[in-house]
A and B are shown apart, each in its own frame.
Chain A
C-alpha cells in the first residue's frame, strides 16, 4: 500500500484496484453501487461511493502518514497498524444502475453471489437503502443465510423477514406491517431511544450477545441512523438519532469483523452535508466495523 499515491481514481482506503479475477480468499471486495435515492426532496446518494472512498483517506490519514503505518491512541496507549497484506480489493462502481430496476437489483445480487462464491466478503458502497436489499438477496441465495444486523433508523423490508434480525437505532414512525413482520420473524428492535435512555454500554452488551449467538452476519449500515443535526448528508432526516460517537462506540465495541458475511453502507449523500461530516462518519464507522480485518494490534 503506497502512502503517497493520490490517484484521480480514488479507491476505498487505498485498496488494491482490480477485477473479479483478482479475488483472494478472505479478501474484502468493494463494489460501489451509485444508485440515487428516490426521495424527491433530497437526492444525492449516487455520489455516496465516491464520498465514502474520499472520506476513508481522511480517516486513515494518521496511518498513511506514518512510515510504519502505525498509530498510537493517546487515550489508551494502544497501537494499531494497517495490515500490510492486501485485504481490500476495490473493483469499482457498477455502471448504469440508475434508474434502479429489478434487473439492476438482480445484477447486484449476482455480483454479491459471485464474490461470496470466491470466499470473499462483499462490501457494497451505496447508493440508497435498496442496495442493502440487493446485498441481502445475494447473500440469502446460499445454503446457510447469515443473520442480519441492521444499523438504521428504520426497519428494512428485506431484513424484516429474515430469520431473527437485529435492528439497532430505530427512530420515528415505522410501518406497522413491517414492525409486526419483524416481530413474527423473531427479530429484536433496539431503538435509538433505548440507547439514549439506557446508555451505550447496555446497547453494546446486547449487540455483542447477538453477534456471539450467530456464526455469520450480514451488516447493513444506513447513515440515516445518525441524528440529522450531527450528520445532515442523508436523504431522510432523523431527529433524535444516534450521535456519530455513539455509532462509533457500538462498532468498535462489538467484535463483528471476523463474522462478517457482507456489508452494505447506504444513504450517504455528500452534497447534502456541506460540512462533510456524514461521509466522514460513514468512513470512520466502516473502518471500525472492518476492525481486525484491516488493523492489527502492535505490542507497545
Chain B
C-alpha cells in the first residue's frame, strides 16, 4: 500500500465516474487551447456485425485510468522507457478534458451524427484536439464531420490529410439493408467532406478480399492503401512513414482514425468485425509511434467491444494504442 498524505484529504478523493486517462471532466467550452477534448460515442447501432462497441468508451476510460493509477500508486518521480532509455514523467497540467458522451439516438442516425459532430466541432473550435471514442467505426464519420466543420471555420480554404488504420476499407457507398450511413461506409462519407484532401487519404492494415470497385475508386482519386501484407513485407515503421508522407502532401493537419480491428483478431478479439491480418500488437504500436510525431489535430478510435473478449486484454491493448499515439502529450521528458 502507498502512504497517502492525510494532510491533504482531497488527495483521497477523485471525482465520480470514469474519464480518459483519469483526467478532469468538464464542458468543452472550458477547454484550454492546445489541449485534448474527449468525446464519447457509445453507439453500436450502425454496426451490422457483432454488437458490443457501445461499451467501448467506458472500457477505454476504465483501462486508461487503470494504467495511470498503476503509475501513480508507485510514488515515483520519473520513469524510464526501455525502448528508448529516455526518462519521462506524467503530465500534471490539464492537457486533457473529458467532455463526456455525445447523446446517442438508436432510432435516428441523423440525430446521433449531428450530436457527435456538434461536440467534436465545439472541441476543435476551442483550438483543442478532439479524441473521439467509439462506438462502431461509423462514428468516425460524425467525429470527422465536426472536425471538418471547425477546420473550415479556422482554416478556410485549407484541406487536411487523413489516415485510417483499419482491417477494412469502409468505403462502400451503401451496405445492403443498412443503407448509406453505417460502419462500412464511414471512409466513403469522410472522403466526401469538402475540405478533406481526398488524394491524400491513406489506409493502413487492409486485409483479405476487398471490393474491387471500392479499390478502383480509392486509387482513382489518388488515395493509397497499405495492406497488412505490406506491413509484414515493408515493416510497420516504413509503412507508417510512407503513409504519413502521402497523407501530408500539401497539408499541415492530419485526421487519424484508428479502427482497432486492423490487429489480428487472435491477439485482439474484442471487436465487431474480425480479420486475421497477422498484425501483432508490437507492429500496431510501431505504426502509432511514427504517427505520434505527426501534426494530428483530430482523432478517433473505434470498434472496441470489450464484452466480446473474455480475457479483458482487448480494452487494455486499445488503451495502450491511445497511450502510444498520445505519448508526447501524456508524458513529458523528466
Contacts and interface: CB of A to CB of B under 8 A. Distances in A.
A/B contact in complex, CB under 8 angstroms: yes
Interface of A: 41-42, 170-177, 179, 189, 191-193, 196, 227-230, 232-233, 236-237, 239-241, 243, 272-275
B184 interface: no
B247 interface: no
Contact of B316 (A191, A196, A239): A239
B312 A229 contact: no
Contacts of B317: 228-229, 237, 239
A167 B314 CA distance: 27
A192 B79 CA distance: 17
A239 B286 CA distance: 11
Contacts of B268: 229
A58 B302 CA distance: 38
B329 interface: no
23 contacts: A41-B312, A42-B312, A172-B81, A173-B71, A174-B79, A174-B80, A176-B78, A176-B334, A192-B83, A193-B82, A193-B83, A196-B282, A228-B316, A228-B317, A229-B264, A232-B311, A232-B312, A237-B317, A239-B281, A240-B282, A240-B285, A243-B280, A274-B311
Given A229-B281, A272-B311, A274-B311, A176 B80 contact: yes
Contact of A237 (B71, B310, B313, B334): B313
Main secondary structure of the interface of A (DSSP, over half): loop
A274 B310 contact: yes
A240 B236 CA distance: 13
- Most B CB atoms within 10 A — which of A177, A233, A237, A243? A237
Contacts of A193: 82-83
Interface in B98-151: none
A171 B82 contact: yes
Given A228-B316, A232-B311, A177 B76 contact: yes
B266 interface: yes
Contact of A176 (B79, B263, B311): B79
A192 B264 CA distance: 20
Nearest to A194: B82
B267 A230 contact: yes
B267 A173 contact: no
Contacts of B71: 173
Contacts of B79: 173-176
Nearest to B311: A232
Contacts of A273: 311
Interface residues of B, number: 31
Nearest to B318: A239
Interface string B56-98: 0000000000100011001011111111000110000000000
Nearest to A176: B78
B232 interface: no
A177 B79 CA distance: 8
Nearest to A192: B82
A41 B66 contact: yes
Contacts of A272: 311-312
Nearest to A153: B82
B320 interface: yes
A229 B282 CA distance: 9
B303 to A, nearest CB: 16
B288 to A, nearest CB: 10
A85 B144 CA distance: 68
A275 B311 contact: yes
Given A174-B82, A237-B320, A239-B320, A229 B87 contact: no
Contact of A173 (B81, B281, B316): B81
Contact of B83 (A171, A179, A228, A229): A171
A102 to B, nearest CB: 14
A170 B82 contact: yes
B65 to A, nearest CB: 10
A274 B312 CA distance: 10
- Most A CB atoms within 10 A — which of B83, B280, B310, B316? B83
A191 B83 contact: yes
A48 B83 CA distance: 29
A176 B76 contact: yes
B234 to A, nearest CB: 16
Contact of B80 (A173, A196, A228, A232): A173
Contacts of A240: 281-282, 285
In the complex, the 4 A-B pairs of residues with the closest C-beta atoms, listed nearest first? A229-B267, A191-B82, A232-B311, A173-B79
B82 A189 contact: yes
A229 B82 contact: no
Contacts of A172: 81-82
Interface in B294-316: 310-313, 316
- Most B CB atoms within 10 A — which of A172, A191, A230? A172
Contacts of B311: 232-233, 272-275
A243 B266 CA distance: 13
